[in-house]
């Protein structure tokens, strides 16, 4: 193969591997094919009709161009890149950095390529204070990328208003303007966009209709990646290559359709938890990104007909080999209620060799001379073997290696898998209605004025929320 | 209150808060009290009989003394502390550091108190190679703490054999001896202990009968904590204070008994997932520690009578406010199959204030002037309110503040809660039989000689494992 690739391997979810009680029989698989096939055509149609604009991000030529232009502008002026964003404006960004930059990137001053990199996706006082102390005298060499699709995310705005004040105080208006890049959707009522325009800040656009959790291949993910030296062209190339596969009309050749169908089957057969377990530290945060994609897209109270269904597989993550010593006891002996997806890497760029055992410890000499990758991948094999002995279904996504191209493939594979799963579950995977209530309740508690809904002001509502959540000492122990 | 404290708050799991279909009625709660009360006496008896030696760790005076002596020995010679360990020899250690050291600790050179701190709890080639490049010329100012209870954990031994070779090459035998501390249980066949003795390395003892996941308050957790300036006396004091509470014979006043009973109830009423969600970055990795404690202790195929039960709640973790934008959609609208435990902090040592909104954005001015802690804790309240609206049960552990004392309380609370849960589920919470098969299978694949079991050599078995896990291209897409 000329290019490194990823492949989905699904033998070990089949009845032949784990028996007919827990595995998928050939007949069931064909039934899944029959059910899913029309959805392939449907998704391709929806995409053509412009209803799933995330599908076209890898073909957008304007975004990488704009991103690269901004990168050139900051050349030599950015030693620290700080992203302020949360959820879909953070998880994909973090995933790209963990996958494609060395583990010691921020600490290894001499060998660092690209700026130090930070993401703040919370409003934790201690965490942010610790950062503010450190950044205090480095503001002149720092760029802040403030990301919010809707332009009014409370956490992101809060952090931004702290940084804005700091920059204005220490560097003045011009200094402030030179060090902030806003990434947001464009629209009249967009707070961040209005600030960017009024205050003459650089800004990047998130295309219309691309939801946060589907936005990593837009400016949301690409700007910080490019700034840190990640090859965004290769990332998008990998996504385009995967697009060809996940558009295939033949179910049996379409990895996203098969992946979604398998997940759908197991959810309906008592396995309501889906565990993703990479055997690679680099791929660790792609599981965090996946968790949002899966949970927010598929966790829905109502189906497309408005019927109450309360559907949604619970995604969990583990890391191999680490969590063999933490979660595998439960995975093997606990309820058979999980589908496992391993991520496995065939070849690593670097691969330390295990040293000789001391003479007094011949019992560990069998490890000597092995490379770590061989130990790690044997552990994956051993864990999968053990799970199969207990009839637990296992998928594997095989990576030839971890690089921009395969990470692009993976992201696109799982985005489209999510669309297929949404179609199979007959829910809308692109909405997140339940997030709104908590957001609005926060606004109320923070003293927002006006009406929350007809007949109920924010202030009245805040009182109700406080009553409901007030600590009753009777239940305190 | 003179000392900061933690408290368990359980009103919002009760029927009065979320209705009788999902909540616990007063009658059910009394039934739980009746069922659990005899277990309080039983656990106190077991402890007196020396069957749960982890319970006595906070009273052990020898361990802190030995740890402090070693710390003095390394004074001025340790700029980097590196822990090699996995599972129970890593998760508690990481949790203490995240909770009790500033976020920017490793990066903030000027203000750093104590050595830079790293834990390697995997055998990832890229991750470890990145570290090896960096540490290469810093070995003379680095201390490695190698931790394995059994003394033969493959991952830890593999990393240690890489570091050992490096130290011997670069610093010679004396240099090597000065820079390694072994932490392990003492016993004749213990590989690490034998190496420590033969090679004259400093070593610390893990008391007999203290399992990995219950060992954080032994030398396992205390050495690195003390080296980094964490107050281990206060940590142990907090644990002792909690010991008083969790030994109370009155169920209604015993937070561990109540916590376990509530978890047990919900597991038996269709809520097989338990989500822990701290609203504090500092407490984030205590959830990772909890995940192992809960999963390995309670995930069991057989009960104490040998009956096949396949029991085990699945612990998952989220972080507030971050995961409101990732998991809360599922938590609210998906299946009502989860019990939530929030961790909430009342007071933070530092608390940045949100700056004024630009004039062009009056719609966000309601945030201005607030401290981040007020926003964060209102978000917790808002999320809890939203979950209660959907009749999802919510516990909260309230922290006056995060410090050594309250973290010690929390650790001890959850360890004893786990013992109670084990007793309620009628399983052995201190074993991990299922971890062994994967370990042995790894040994087989790595070419170990001799018999795995009568009639099957490791080599024959390795062949079987390879056949079972061999990639069949028919299922590759």
User: How many angstroms separate the CA atoms of A392 and A19, rounded?
Assistant: 10
pLDDT tens sequence across A205-225: 999 999 999 999 999 999 999
pTM for the full predicted model: 0.97
CB A303 within 8 A of CB B66: no
Domain limits, CATH 3.40.50.10490, in chain A: 6-49+240-425, 55-234
The yes/no answer on whether domain A6-49+240-425 falls in CATH 3.40.50.10490 is yes
Q: Quick one: average pLDDT of B200-205?
A: 98
Closest alpha carbon within chain A to B288: A326
Q: Tell me the sheet residues that pair with A117.
A: A81
Contact A325 B254 (CB under 8 A): no
Contact B322 A88 (CB under 8 A): no
Q: Decide if pLDDT at A1 tops 60.
A: no
Residues of B in contact with A108 (CB under 8 A): 130, 133-134
Contact B295 A327 (CB under 8 A): yes
Residues of B in contact with A125 (CB under 8 A): 348, 350-352, 371-373, 376
B3 confidence band (pLDDT: 50, 70, 90): low
pLDDT tens sequence across B88-119: 999 999 999 999 999 999 999 888 989 999 99
pLDDT tens sequence across A357-386: 999 999 999 999 999 999 999 999 999 999
Of A302, A361, A367, the CB nearest to B158: A367
The mean of the pLDDT values for chain B is: 96
Query: Using alpha carbons only, what angle is made at residue B325 by residues A266 and A432, rounded to the nearest 5 degrees?
Result: 65
ipTM summary value:
0.97
User: How many angstroms separate the CA atoms of B297 and B295, rounded?
Assistant: 6
Closest alpha carbon within chain A to B347: A125
Residue A327's pLDDT is what? Answer: 97
Q: Does the annotation mark A439 as catalytic?
A: yes
Residues of B in contact with A273 (CB under 8 A): 273, 314
Residue B283's pLDDT is what? Answer: 98
pLDDT tens sequence across A428-438: 999 999 988 88
Q: Quick one: average pLDDT of B338-367?
A: 96
Residues of B in contact with A441 (CB under 8 A): 381-383, 385-386
Residues of A in contact with B344 (CB under 8 A): none
CB B257 within 8 A of CB B424: no
The mean of the pLDDT values for chain A is: 96
Query: Using alpha carbons only, what angle is made at residue A343 by residues A421 and A82, rounded to the nearest 5 degrees?
Result: 85
- State the CB neighbour count (10 A cutoff) for residue B44: 16
User: How many angstroms separate the CA atoms of A448 and A222, rounded?
Assistant: 35
pLDDT tens sequence across B299-308: 999 999 999 9
User: How many angstroms separate the CA atoms of B310 and A438, rounded?
Assistant: 36
Domain limits, CATH 3.40.50.10490, in chain B: 6-49+235-425, 55-233
Name the architecture of domain A55-234. Answer: 3-Layer(aba) Sandwich (3.40)
Q: Quick one: average pLDDT of A311-323?
A: 98
Residue A27's pLDDT is what? Answer: 98
Point out the catalytic residue in the list A71, A159, A284, A296: A296
The yes/no answer on whether domain B55-233 falls in CATH 3.40.50.10490 is yes
Tokens of B317: 């973790």
Question: Which residue's structure tokens are 């209605």?
Answer: A433
Three-class HEC string of chain B: CCCCCEEEECHHHEHHHHCCCCCECHHHHHHHHHHHHHHHHHHHHHHHCCCCHHHHHHHCCHHHHHHHHHHHHHCCCCCEEEEECCHHHCHHHHHHHHHHCCCCCCCCCCCCCCCEEEEECCCCHHHHHHHHHHHCCCHHHEEEEEECCCCCCHHHHHHHHHHHHHHHHHHHHHHHHHCEEEEEECCCCCHHHHHHHHCCCEEEEECCCCCHHHCCCCHHHHHHHHHCCCCHHHHHHHHHHHHHHHCCCCHHHCHHHHHHHHHHHHHHCCCCEEEEEECCHHHHHHHHHHHHHHHHHHCEEECCCCCEEEECCEEEECCCCHHHHCCHHHHHHCCCCEEEEEEEECCCCCCCECCCCCCCCHHHHHHCCCEHHHHHHHHHHHHHHHHHHCCCCEEEEEECCCCHHHHHHHHHHHHHHHHHHHHHHCCCCCCCHHHHHHHHHHHHHCCCCCEEECCEEHHHHHHHHHHHHCCCHHHEC
CB B451 within 8 A of CB B279: no
Residue A468's pLDDT is what? Answer: 92
Q: Quick one: average pLDDT of B31-59?
A: 98
Q: Tell which of A352, A388, A468 to mutate to test the B interface (max B CBs under 10 Å).
A: A352
Rounded to the nearest angstrom, the gap between the alpha carbon of residue B4 and the centroid of all alpha carbons in its chain is 22
Which residues of B carry out catalysis?
Answer: 296, 325, 439
User: How many angstroms separate the CA atoms of A118 and A11, rounded?
Assistant: 40
Of A352, A448, A476, the CB nearest to B128: A352
B343 confidence band (pLDDT: 50, 70, 90): very high
Q: Does the annotation mark A325 as catalytic?
A: yes
A3 confidence band (pLDDT: 50, 70, 90): low
CB pairs under 8 A between A and B: 494
pLDDT tens sequence across A437-470: 888 899 899 888 889 999 999 999 999 999 999 9
- Chain A nearest C-alpha distance from B385 (Å): 7
Q: Tell which of B163, B377, B477 to mutate to test the A interface (max A CBs under 10 Å).
A: B477
Of A127, A158, A255, the CB nearest to B367: A158
Residues of B in contact with A314 (CB under 8 A): 273, 314, 316, 330, 334, 337-338
Residues in contact with B60: Cβ distance below 8 Å, sequence separation at least 6, in sequence order: B207, B218
Point out the catalytic residue in the list A307, A325, A449, A453: A325
Closest alpha carbon within chain B to A371: B125
Tell how strand B456-457 and strand B451-453 pair up. antiparallel
Residue A295's pLDDT is what? Answer: 98
Q: Decide if pLDDT at B1 tops 50.
A: no
Mutual angle of helices A404-425 and A255-268, in 10-degree steps: 50
- Of chain B, the percentage scoring pLDDT greater than 70 comes to 99
Task: Assign domain B6-49+235-425 to a CATH class.
Answer: alpha beta
Question: Which residue's structure tokens are 């209604």?
Answer: B252
CB B448 within 8 A of CB A366: yes
Closest alpha carbon within chain B to A437: B386
Contact B366 A292 (CB under 8 A): no
A238 confidence band (pLDDT: 50, 70, 90): very high
């Amino acid at each position: 193969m000329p290019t490194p690739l990823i492949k989905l391997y699904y033998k070990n979810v089949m009845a032949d591997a784990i028996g007919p009680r827990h595995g998928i029989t050939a007949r069931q698989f064909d039934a899944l094919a029959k059910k899913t096939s029309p959805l392939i055509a449907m998704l391709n149609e929806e995409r053509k009709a412009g209803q799933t604009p995330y599908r076209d991000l890898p073909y957008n030529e304007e975004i990488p161009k704009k991103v690269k232009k901004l990168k050139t502008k900051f050349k030599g002026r950015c030693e620290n890149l700080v992203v302020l964003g949360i959820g879909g404006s953070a998880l994909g960004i973090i995933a790209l950095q963990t996958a494609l930059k060395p583990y010691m990137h921020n600490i290894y001053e001499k060998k660092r390529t690209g700026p130090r990199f930070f993401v703040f996706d919370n409003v934790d006082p201690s965490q942010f204070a610790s950062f503010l102390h450190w950044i205090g005298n480095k503001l002149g060499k720092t760029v802040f990328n403030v990301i919010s699709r809707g332009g009014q995310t409370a956490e992101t705005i809060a952090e931004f208003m702290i940084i804005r004040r700091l920059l204005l105080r220490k560097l003045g208006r011009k200094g402030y303007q030179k060090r902030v890049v806003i990434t947001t959707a464009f629209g009249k009522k967009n707070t961040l966009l209005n600030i960017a325009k009024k205050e003459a800040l650089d800004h990047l656009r998130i295309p219309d209709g691309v939801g946060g959790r589907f936005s990593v291949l837009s400016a949301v993910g690409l700007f910080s990646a490019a700034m840190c030296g990640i090859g965004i062209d290769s990332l998008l190339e990998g996504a385009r290559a995967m697009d060809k596969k996940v558009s295939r009309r033949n179910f049996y050749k379409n990895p996203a359709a098969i992946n979604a169908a398998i997940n759908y089957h197991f959810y309906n057969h008592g396995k309501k938890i889906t565990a993703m377990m990479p055997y690679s530290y680099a791929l660790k945060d792609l599981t965090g990104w996946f968790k949002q994609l899966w949970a927010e897209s598929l966790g829905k109270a109502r189906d497309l007909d408005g019927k109450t269904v309360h559907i949604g597989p619970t995604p969990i993550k583990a890391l191999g080999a680490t969590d063999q010593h933490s979660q595998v006891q439960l995975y093997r002996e606990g309820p058979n209620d999980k589908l496992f997806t391993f991520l496995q890497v065939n070849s690593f760029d670097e691969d330390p060799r295990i040293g000789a055992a001391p003479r007094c410890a011949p019992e560990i000499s069998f490890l000597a001379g092995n490379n770590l990758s061989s130990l790690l991948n044997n552990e994956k094999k051993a864990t999968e073997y053990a799970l199969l002995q207990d009839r637990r279904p296992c998928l594997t996504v095989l990576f030839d290696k971890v690089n921009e191209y395969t990470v692009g493939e993976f992201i696109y594979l799982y985005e489209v898998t999510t669309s297929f799963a949404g179609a199979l579950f007959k829910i809308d995977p692109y909405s997140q209605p339940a997030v709104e209530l908590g957001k609005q309740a926060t606004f109320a508690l923070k003293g927002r004025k006006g009406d929350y809904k007809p007949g109920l002001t924010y202030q009245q509502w805040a009182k109700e929320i406080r009553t409901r959540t007030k600590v009753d000492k009777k239940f305190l122990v």
